Amino acid sequence: MTKLVGLTGGIGSGKTTVAKYFEELGVPVYIADSEAKALMNRSKVIRRKLIALFGNEAYLENTLNRLFIAQQIFNDKKLLNAMNAIVHPKVASHFKRWVNKQDSPYVISEAAILFENGSYKKYDFIITVTAPENIRLQRVIKRDNSNKQKVEAIMANQWSDQEKIKRSDFVIENIDLEQTKIQVRKIHKKILKLTSKH
């Protein structure tokens, strides 16, 4: 039975970098955010429901209008939850089908809000990626051409590292890439050991 490993961390912590290192070790990785975006463009059911929720502006020429939706949900928890209720179940069933196709002792699912949406309960192990807040801020501002207030607002909506660490099996501090790679290799070995026991 393939074990499920959740990979999470606050915005700018470097989840994607860590996921890439696991991939280099041959571990299948599912990026929930990318899959959600793909499904929002591909699924007629999601499209219909999102248009009902946000109006016709939700899609521009058959493509998800991400900027418009981001603006709508930015300070509206209710709208964000309504959108997640449409998208998350579809992503969850897509993930299940994906897992069944993998031939590996364990797979990784990278998701930003594993704890916030309660989905952490379905994983065998959780890895949390951390980095000091000022480093995360700089990374996101540089990556998304964003401003400090916007990034801080997103951070405020996410659980703190302390909260996540309490519920995690492994923690990777992602400041120095070489160190991060070493941590990934160690955790990979530990998980392989743990999965071979079951």
Q: Where are the domains of the chain?
A: 1-28+104-193, 38-101
Known binding residues for ATP: 12-17
Fold of 1-28+104-193: Rossmann fold (3.40.50)
CA distance 43 to 51: 12
Known binding residues: 12-17
Q: 125 CB contacts (<8 Å, ≥6 apart)?
A: 3, 4, 5, 6, 106, 169, 170, 191, 194
pTM over 0.85: yes
For the chain, 198 residues long, give each residue's pLDDT as a single digit of tens.
899 999 999 999 999 999 999 999 999 999 998 999 999 999 999 999 999 999 999 999 889 999 999 889 877 889 988 999 999 899 999 999 999 999 999 999 999 888 988 889 999 999 999 999 999 999 999 998 888 988 888 888 889 999 999 999 999 999 999 999 999 999 999 999 998 875
Write out the H or E segment, with its range, that includes residue 32.
Answer: helix 32-42
For the chain, report the end-to-end CA distance as a whole number of angstroms.
9
Which residues pair with residue 106 across a beta bridge?
3
